[in-house]
């Protein structure tokens, strides 16, 4: 059985990944960004500690939602960096690489885990809301792809 | 030299971040493993329960999970407690299997006190009749168990059904009053 804390661990690892990648691409990001992501990852560690200490106090429903929120924040950062590279920095090639090597796999894996968790706990959690959120995420991801893979489309929109 | 003036190369920064990342990831994994291994033992009522029956020996104690029967034995006469104790399957959802397993008996084998009994039989019945039994018979100064392995096979008791134990005791004509035999039997239940 999956524990909702899996999302917190996944998110924390995502922040660590972002920290390392932004350090490697340091000339394209503000200097503090890698350290901010490290702090965010350490917050995830604190998140897990709190979950462990209050395991008997917090019910699974509550643990699921606050862990999912943390995962959503991590995924939003992944997508935000993608958009930052594409829109603000106009590094189309890098944005495409980021999209296919980081954004797509992380979002896909996260969606898979969340959906699987929601399916297993179908009686407890509102699957309909979860499905709507996931569909929304996929739509946003699809739009991002079409924009990133075809920069001319973005130019068209601007005009 | 001020700490703020120290300039780190990109590779040094990356190495520091990599090391702290490994540390945080390992700590996260350890906490998560600890969470998954957290035992969750909840107290619940047993599926198979003992309950008092019409012919329960006087002075007996019957609880849900255990019972103590204080039976008598008469010299040269078989004493039968037709329905000594009930074993009920209170699980309305499924059948459960159980067996009787010998744990201990006093007086122990080889002691002269054993000769004060001829047999003590625990027979399990249901509404259709006899099902199985765990018997103690005496040969000289030794208890002979039947089945000899000291435990019966498992028998499935249907959901919401009550079976009962019939207790039969017999002592030889030469038995002395005041002797006490203590038998401990486990009821193993397959959940």
Please indicate if any CB of chain B lies within 8 Å of the CB of A72. Answer: no
Domain that holds residue A75: 5-158
Instruction: Decide: pTM greater than 0.90.
Output: no
B159, part of any domain: yes
% pLDDT > 90, chain A: 25
Chain A residue with CA closest to B28: the answer is: A45
Nearest to A38 among B20, B28, B31 (CB): B20
Number of domains chain B is built from:
2
Q: Which pLDDT value is given to residue B64?
A: 87
B42, part of any domain: no
Neighbours of B31 (CB within 10 A): 22
B16, part of any domain: yes
Instruction: Find which of A45, A55, A67 to mutate to test the B interface (most B CBs within 10 Å of its CB).
Output: A45
B55 and B135 co-located in one domain: yes
Domain with B115 in it: what CATH number? Answer: 2.60.40
* Most confident of the following: A25-29, A86-90, B113-117: B113-117
pLDDT in tens, B39-91: 666 677 788 999 999 999 999 999 888 899 999 999 999 999 999 999 999 88
B32 and B59 co-located in one domain: no
Structure tokens, B85: 């104790």
Structure tokens, A127: 């699957």
Does the N-terminal peptide bond of residue A109 adopt cis geometry, omega within 30 degrees of 0?
no
Neighbours of B39 (CB within 10 A): 4
B56 and B27 co-located in one domain: no
- Cβ distance B17 to A38 less than 8 Å, yes or no, reads yes
B86, part of any domain: yes
Residue B5: pLDDT over 90: no
The whole-chain average pLDDT of chain B stands at 89
B64 and B134 co-located in one domain: yes
Domain that holds residue B121: 48-190
B110 and B165 co-located in one domain: yes
Residue A23: pLDDT over 70: yes
B97, part of any domain: yes
Greatest CA separation for chain A: 57
Which residue, among A121, A99, A120, A97, has the nearest Cα to A108 in the 3D structure? A99
Q: Which pLDDT value is given to residue A144?
A: 66
Give A50→chain B minimum CA distance, Å.
10
Number of domains chain A is built from:
1
Please indicate if any CB of chain A lies within 8 Å of the CB of B13. Answer: yes
B153 and B89 co-located in one domain: yes
B91 and B178 co-located in one domain: yes
B1, part of any domain: no
Instruction: Find which of A23, A46, A113 to mutate to test the B interface (most B CBs within 10 Å of its CB).
Output: A23
Q: What DSSP string runs through B26-52?
A: HHHHHHHHHHHT---------SEEEEE
Q: Where are the beta strands (DSSP E) in A42-114?
A: none
């Amino acid at each position: 059985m999956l524990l909702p804390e899996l999302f917190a661990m996944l998110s924390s690892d995502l922040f660590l990944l972002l920290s390392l990648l932004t350090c490697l691409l340091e000339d394209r990001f503000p200097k503090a960004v890698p350290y901010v992501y490290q702090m965010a990852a350490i917050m995830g560690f604190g998140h897990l500690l709190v979950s462990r200490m209050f395991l008997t106090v917090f019910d699974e429903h509550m643990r699921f939602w606050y862990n999912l929120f943390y995962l959503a924040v991590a995924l939003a950062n992944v997508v935000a960096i993608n958009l930052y590279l594409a829109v603000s920095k106009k590094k189309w090639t890098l944005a495409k690489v980021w999209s296919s090597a980081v954004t797509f796999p992380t979002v896909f894996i996260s969606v898979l885990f969340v959906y699987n968790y929601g399916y297993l706990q179908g009686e407890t959690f509102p699957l309909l809301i979860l499905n709507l959120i996931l569909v929304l995420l996929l739509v946003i991801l699809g739009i991002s792809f079409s924009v990133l893979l075809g920069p001319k489309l973005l130019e068209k929109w601007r005009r | 030299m001020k700490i703020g003036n120290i300039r780190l190369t990109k590779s040094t920064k990356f190495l520091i971040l990599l090391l702290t990342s490994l540390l945080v990831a390992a700590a996260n994994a350890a906490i998560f493993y600890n969470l998954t291994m957290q035992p969750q033992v909840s107290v619940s009522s047993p599926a198979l329960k003992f309950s008092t029956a019409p012919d329960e020996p006087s002075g007996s104690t019957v609880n849900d999970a255990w019972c103590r029967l204080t039976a008598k034995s008469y010299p040269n006469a078989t004493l039968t407690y037709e329905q000594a104790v009930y074993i009920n399957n209170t699980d309305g959802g499924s059948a459960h299997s159980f067996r009787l397993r010998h744990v201990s008996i006093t007086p122990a084998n080889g002691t002269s006190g054993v000769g004060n009994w001829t047999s003590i039989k625990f027979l399990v019945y249901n509404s259709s009749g006899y099902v199985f039994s765990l018997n103690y018979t005496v040969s000289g100064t030794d208890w002979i168990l039947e089945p000899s392995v000291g435990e019966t096979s498992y028998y499935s008791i249907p959901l919401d059904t009550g079976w009962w134990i019939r207790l039969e005791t017999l002592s030889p004509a030469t038995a002395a009053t005041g002797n006490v035999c203590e038998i401990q039997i486990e009821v193993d239940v397959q959940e």
